[in-house]
């Protein structure tokens, strides 16, 4: 695909990994072809996302796509190196099989697989770029975030209960809270990541509560030289509304502070929050400096 950067795949390592684990011959170029298929799929996701969001998000999407392609190549190359370290017992036979070396190899494979799943998570970041998950201007945002928080808190407690049972019994057999796809304890990073998401969602809920309180105060528009600054709580935007089209220098100031022209509103606007208010005040100072 155009405008997609592919990173090198080590065909020599892929060949050795294949020979160490299979009776079948390695098909030259197959590792590179599979890597490119995955990157092309990510690129298609990125292009679809660009069609959904404004151009200000396109650079971020491109960066995420490049990070995906680069990290995926590193992960796959490392996987081939791991797989080539110790041949399969089907290849070597059972006598003098290096059990300890195989255990180390399996541990390395588990780590590599976790890294692979984290890399696949970049696709979700691409899909959400410019959308922000639950949008703050969604009238049901508070309800959706609270439901999401409850789900994350339940998951945290579930993982703790599973780990406690597993530590005591060394198995999940007989565990009343066990789900069909669970066979062992949860790694510490899973609990840490989920706990970080809990803190993030709580922070967003607190921010929305603050915005609701400010909306109740009914802060009126601020008059400036040729514009008004308005907090539009109905759509969750802070807006500059000018008497006419601002000149190029003023437009550059607005863009530099994260404001974008919204024809449907007849305003230059960005998300209404403390960051948006700060950006608006700095923009006003910079516009005043032009006149001085």
- Per-residue model confidence (pLDDT) at position 33: 93
Please say whether the beta carbons of 153 and 198 come within 8 A: yes
Instruction: Give the chain's largest Cα–Cα span.
Output: 87
Nearest in space to 162 (alpha carbons), one of 187, 141, 145? 187
CA distances from 237 to 32, 57, 151, 240 (A): 46, 18, 29, 10
Write out the chain's pLDDT in tens, 292 residues: 457 899 999 999 999 888 887 778 889 999 999 999 999 999 999 988 887 777 777 888 999 999 999 999 999 999 999 888 877 765 555 566 677 787 888 888 888 888 888 898 898 888 878 755 555 556 567 777 888 888 889 889 999 999 999 899 888 888 888 876 677 888 888 899 889 989 988 988 888 887 777 766 666 688 888 899 988 877 778 899 999 899 999 999 998 888 998 888 899 998 888 788 888 989 999 988 886 5
Q: How many Å apart are CA 282 and CA 16, to the nearest integer?
A: 59
CB count within 10 Å of CB 269 equals 24
Q: How many Å apart are CA 59 and CA 40, to the nearest integer?
A: 18
- Per-residue model confidence (pLDDT) at position 138: 60
CB count within 10 Å of CB 119 equals 21
- In the numeric block, the tokens 């606007």 are attached to 269
Domain boundaries along the sequence of the chain:
11-128, 141-217, 222-291
């Amino acid at each position: 695909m155009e405008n997609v950067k592919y990173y090198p795949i080590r065909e020599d390592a892929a060949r050795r990994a294949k020979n160490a684990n299979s009776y079948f011959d390695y098909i030259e170029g197959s590792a590179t072809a599979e890597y490119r298929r995955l990157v092309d799929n990510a690129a298609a996701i990125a292009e679809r996302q660009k069609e959904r969001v404004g151009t200000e998000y396109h650079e971020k999407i491109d960066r995420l796509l490049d990070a995906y392609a680069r990290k995926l190549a590193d992960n796959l190359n490392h996987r081939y190196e791991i797989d080539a370290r110790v041949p399969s017992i089907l290849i070597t036979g059972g006598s003098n099989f290096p059990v300890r070396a195989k255990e180390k190899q399996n541990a390395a494979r588990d780590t590599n697989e976790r890294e692979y799943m984290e890399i696949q998570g970049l696709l979700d970041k691409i899909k959400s770029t410019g959308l922000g998950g639950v949008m703050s201007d969604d009238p049901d945002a508070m309800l959706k975030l609270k439901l999401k928080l409850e789900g994350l808190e339940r998951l945290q407690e579930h993982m703790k209960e599973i780990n406690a049972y597993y530590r005591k019994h060394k198995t999940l057999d007989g565990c009343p809270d066990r789900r069909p796809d669970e066979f062992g304890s949860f790694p510490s990073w899973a609990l840490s990541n989920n706990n970080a998401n809990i803190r993030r969602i709580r922070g967003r809920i607190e921010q929305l509560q603050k915005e609701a309180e400010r909306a109740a105060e009914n802060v009126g528009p601020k008059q400036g030289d040729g514009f008004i600054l308005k907090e539009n709580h109905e759509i969750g935007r802070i807006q500059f509304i000018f008497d006419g089209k601002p000149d190029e220098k003023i437009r550059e100031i607005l863009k530099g502070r994260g404001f974008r022209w919204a024809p449907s509103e007849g305003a230059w606007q960005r998300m209404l929050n403390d960051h948006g208010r700060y950006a608006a005040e700095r923009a006003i100072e910079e516009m005043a400096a032009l006149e001085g």
